[in-house]
Amino acid sequence: MADDKKLTTRAADFSAWYNEVIMRAELADYSPVRGCMVIRPNGYAIWEQMQRRLDEMFKDHGVQNAYFPLLIPQSFLSKEAEHVEGFAPELAVVTHGGGKELEEPLVIRPTSETIIYSMYAKWIQSYRDLPMLMNQWANVVRWEMRTRLFLRTAEFLWQEGHTAHVDEAEAEAFTLKILQTYRTFAEEWMAMPVLTGRKTDSERFAGALRTYCIEALMQDNKALQAGTSHNLGQNFAKAFQVTFQNDKGGLDYVWNTSWGVSTRLVGALVMTHGDDNGVITPPRLAQYQVVIVPIYKTDEERAQVLAAADLTLRELKAGGIRAHLDARDGVKPGAKYYEWEGRGVPFRLEIGPRDVAAGKVMLARRTGGRKVPMDTQGLAHTLRIEMDSMQVELLEAARTRREQNSIRGITKGSFLDFLARDGGFAYGGWCGDGKCEAEIKEETKATIRCLPDEEFQSPVRPETCMWCGRPATTEAVWARAY
Amino acid sequence: MADDKKLTTRAADFSAWYNEVIMRAELADYSPVRGCMVIRPNGYAIWEQMQRRLDEMFKDHGVQNAYFPLLIPQSFLSKEAEHVEGFAPELAVVTHGGGKELEEPLVIRPTSETIIYSMYAKWIQSYRDLPMLMNQWANVVRWEMRTRLFLRTAEFLWQEGHTAHVDEAEAEAFTLKILQTYRTFAEEWMAMPVLTGRKTDSERFAGALRTYCIEALMQDNKALQAGTSHNLGQNFAKAFQVTFQNDKGGLDYVWNTSWGVSTRLVGALVMTHGDDNGVITPPRLAQYQVVIVPIYKTDEERAQVLAAADLTLRELKAGGIRAHLDARDGVKPGAKYYEWEGRGVPFRLEIGPRDVAAGKVMLARRTGGRKVPMDTQGLAHTLRIEMDSMQVELLEAARTRREQNSIRGITKGSFLDFLARDGGFAYGGWCGDGKCEAEIKEETKATIRCLPDEEFQSPVRPETCMWCGRPATTEAVWARAY
């Protein structure tokens, strides 16, 4: 661990707490390159678990991985008018290569629609080639100076899926299928409840027809956009001439979707579950689900305890549990507890000489409560049940917190009060006018996070815009956001 | 498949064959970005299999994955004199970000020693922090205009390992451990025999003390460097002040190693095993190890055959075999055979109505021979034996070819003859003089691929330099290379 100083509490300064927790758990570090961070092994291990599961989920939908160039000719971005307008301010530009000035500058991909659809134009001939379903795991760069570890960095890692379909209905269905996949991942793997819904035009992806998102509420009651799925319509198909012969012999433009989640999810995980002692990692995404700490004084005890600990380790691993034995000499058990707690390991097993004699281990849960003695017999099975239960409890706790920090049926007055207190998700009617949306943002810094899907809408449909009082066209969810 | 034209044969034009094989199997494609390629799903799937296995092997050595920034301040490269000299001509330079000219240009990493060791300087305090063993899976850019798919592109994907150790002996041992890991992977997974050995000073990594490599011989008798492992000595530690308190309380510089293999290995695999019908993928790295092709005429046969094929598919998958059922309607069995053959799938199972009735399937091996009927009973087991046997046969065939195209105890005359005919690996004495090495390269285009490890040295030790006739200091292996 980086140091032993007490962490700032969440209540005292959430932002300081967040940085300290990450630094102490050695998830990431600042780099000498402005705007960029280093993902350290403890943080990367969480990302690897996320990647593994998401990759399986995408492949179950028939999506295949591929890899497209990092560098994109500047002219490509300009082919889709909204797209270039949205991304131009954030571009990193390569002007020299191999010691010479380039004829045309290349930009480092901020996202890969343009380069990918230029290839799709070559690969897609007929409706038989559709749908084309690809994903890439890659780094992207969006120039950004106000760095926040994992949440906002000039370079970040992500996956970006890109698909092509025969018609709008199929593209829309795929966009929503991915949105639900993201939701399932967030809830079942990250134990992070999310709202699903549609973005307003002002928050729509540059070049998309419609953008859908999953939105989570962090412990400081700020919203975090955790994933987006876009129906791109035929915008890029027209810009890059991605056409196909339909089954009647005519020529059509394809319908595209794109969708992504990033290493930002690691930050979301920390801000959803962490407590004043550090990170809490849901069991399904933990690098180590269980850490075993041996306790001994004499050499004889050491030999005996380590033998028992090693046996337990092997049994847990054989039972499919990601277990680690912290056998370091010269580090006291208490220091080990503190370190693994800070890193967020869900379960700790302590084994001392008396436990060995009794065929027991002491189980401590990262989420608190008393330590309890457990039989070593059948321990892997017991732990699997404990893990499932912690996974559910974390999700439920986060959902309860979110609901306690949500308000429905807002008026301008109650909305301003809500923001002046703790804030959170505020549901209310909206007139659908972008000017009204902009004014709210200007005056309160709160934005429309999404127009929520039916499941999340209020039982009573709002009739008027909570801000301007005109008739409401839809319900919206406002919050201050990362 | 891209087209149905007959492939150029290897004998007629190896280079054309290579490109056609890759395009037809849809492993990769040229991109609109000069010097860059697109890795298509069929090619990326091979890389994913490679990554999976290599990642396990590294983790078994205690190596952890991390991620460091893509962009490196230009001044960092200059801190190690040899390093900057080696890489300066190949750099891509970012001069503008976020619409402004940068104060200091950033280079896109050509390799990450400088940025990584600048972080190690912060993280390493004491001998207790050592060894530090990290790896990253990343993209790198080395400006390159003479593109060859997978072998030579401006951007490529690779892994780069970076470690820090207390002393030279431990660093050297780790460098060699990784070299052996690469060899094991090449031989046991790629079925590609390699020489191991040390690079001469002229071929050494810019900034390293010693560079070791694995070298393979392609079917056109050109050598391919397939992986390198460097003992970096204390060069980078001194440049970036990576020091630690040793166990006696003194301050020492760490000893570093770095090592990498890249998507070049996909090209190596194609050029090692491919034949005039396309790619041949060794079973252990194949995306699909077995493809099932159903054969039917009537609807009734179709239903019956597809049901049996699906059952077989599920049994093979349950048996841990990566199997795929090609159930496409409207594509004839012959066209399917041709397509999967081109893609290099090791085994094909044909199932027709008579096979179903007899409880059999027909097995075709990508490496040739007659089709043989197999019992569906116990098929997964039978196929696992077949796969192991093909894996061994491919390695043995490649090794035999390499040995047939190697010559030992060369003189200047026999060496020139050898190169004038087919070429290959030429073993001979070398005086150790870089001028002699340079003259040979100038006159013959052959380079010293490595100073071979003992296992690969000739039984009779050469006494004189094959070129200049002075006393030999070592045996060397020459070849023309990619």
Task: Tell me the chain A residues in contact with residue B64 when contact means C-beta distances shorter than 8 Å.
Answer: 41, 44-45
* Same-domain status, A382 and A411: no
- Asked whether the beta carbons of residue B29 and residue A134 sit closer than 8 angstroms, the reply is no
CB B350 within 8 A of CB B295: yes
Distance CA B133, CA B127 (A): 13
Residue A250 lies in a domain: yes
Residue B152 lies in a domain: yes
Distance CA B34, CA B386 (A): 43
* Same-domain status, B89 and B210: yes
Residue B340 lies in a domain: yes
Distance CA A233, CA A247 (A): 20
- Dihedral angle over CA of B418, B419, B425, B431, nearest 10: 90
Residue keyed to tokens 């956001």: A481
Residue B446 lies in a domain: yes
pLDDT digits (tens, 9 = 90+) for B187-234: 999 999 999 999 999 999 999 999 999 999 999 999 999 999 999 999
The total of other beta-carbon atoms located within 10 Å of residue A332's CB is 11
CB A113 within 8 A of CB A207: yes
What backbone torsions phi and psi does residue A99 show, to the nearest 5 degrees? 85, 0
What backbone torsions phi and psi does residue B103 show, to the nearest 5 degrees? -65, -45
Please report, for the domain that includes residue B411, its CATH number.
Answer: 3.30.110.30
Three-state DSSP class for A239?
Answer: helix
* H-helix or E-strand spanning residue A477: strand A474-479
Mean of the per-residue pLDDT values of chain A? 96
B223-233: strand order across its sheet: B64-65, B132-141, B155-165, B255-262, B223-233, B210-217, B195-198, B447-452, B474-479, B425-430, B406-407
Please report, for the domain that includes residue B314, its CATH number.
Answer: 3.40.50.800
Distance CA A91, CA A73 (A): 12
At which of B354, B386, B418 does a domain end?
Answer: B386
* Same-domain status, A184 and A266: yes
Distance CA B190, CA B267 (A): 11
Residue keyed to tokens 């503190």: A338
Spell out the residues 6+ positions from residue A325 whose beta carbon is closer than 8 angstroms to its own.
Answer: A291, A292, A294, A309, A310, A313
Q: What is the pLDDT of residue B3?
A: 52
Best mutation target, B93, B114, B153, B159, to test chain A (most A CBs within 10 A): B93
* Same-domain status, B378 and B237: no
At which of A386, A421, A445 does a domain end?
Answer: A386
Ramachandran class of A435: left when φ > 0, alpha when ψ lies in -120 to 50, beta otherwise:
alpha
* Same-domain status, B312 and B368: yes
B285 secondary structure, DSSP code: G
B131: cis peptide before it, omega within 30°?
yes
Residue A7 lies in a domain: no
Distance CA B418, CA A30 (A): 55
* Same-domain status, A262 and A362: no
Assigned token pair, A204? 């729509």
Query: How many helices and strands, by DSSP H and E, does chain A display?
Result: 14, 23
Residue B282 lies in a domain: no
Q: What is the pLDDT of residue B34?
A: 86
The total of other beta-carbon atoms located within 10 Å of residue B276's CB is 13
- Asked whether the beta carbons of residue A38 and residue B144 sit closer than 8 angstroms, the reply is no
Q: What is the pLDDT of residue B2?
A: 43
Distance CA B139, CA B137 (A): 7
Tell me the residue range of the domain where B229 lies: 14-273
Residues A153-177 as b/e (b if ≥16 CB within 10 A, e otherwise) read bbbbbbbbbbbbbbeeebbbebbbe
Nearest-CB residue to B66 (from A33, A38, A88) = A38
* Same-domain status, B299 and B151: no
A131: cis peptide before it, omega within 30°?
yes
At which of B220, B246, B273 does a domain end?
Answer: B273
Residue A195 lies in a domain: yes
Model ipTM?
0.96
Low-confidence ranges of chain A (pLDDT < 70): 1-4
* Same-domain status, B338 and B242: no
What backbone torsions phi and psi does residue A462 show, to the nearest 5 degrees? -70, 140
Nearest-CB residue to A41 (from B96, B122, B134) = B134
Nearest-CB residue to A41 (from B41, B64, B95) = B64
pTM of this structure: 0.96
- Asked whether the beta carbons of residue B93 and residue A98 sit closer than 8 angstroms, the reply is no
* Same-domain status, A313 and A220: no
**Number of folded domains that form chain B:** 3
Percentage of chain A lying above the pLDDT 90 cut? 96
* Same-domain status, A179 and A260: yes
* Same-domain status, A382 and A265: no
Q: Nearest residue on chain B to A72, judged by CA atoms?
A: B33
Residue A313 lies in a domain: yes
pLDDT 10s digit of each residue in chain B, 482 long?
445 578 999 999 999 999 999 999 999 999 999 899 999 999 999 999 999 999 999 999 999 999 999 999 999 999 988 888 999 999 999 999 999 999 999 999 999 999 999 999 999 999 999 999 999 999 999 998 788 999 999 999 999 999 999 999 999 999 999 999 999 999 999 999 999 999 999 999 999 999 999 999 999 999 999 999 999 999 999 999 999 999 999 999 999 999 999 999 999 999 999 999 999 999 999 999 999 999 999 999 999 999 999 999 999 999 999 999 999 998 999 999 999 999 999 999 999 999 999 999 999 999 998 999 999 999 999 999 999 999 999 999 999 999 999 999 999 999 999 999 999 999 999 999 999 999 999 999 999 999 999 999 999 999 999 999 999 999 999 999 99
* Same-domain status, B45 and B176: yes
Task: Tell me the chain A residues in contact with residue B68 when contact means C-beta distances shorter than 8 Å.
Answer: 31, 38
* Burial tier of A208 (Cβ tally within 10 Å: 0-12, 13-18, 19+): buried
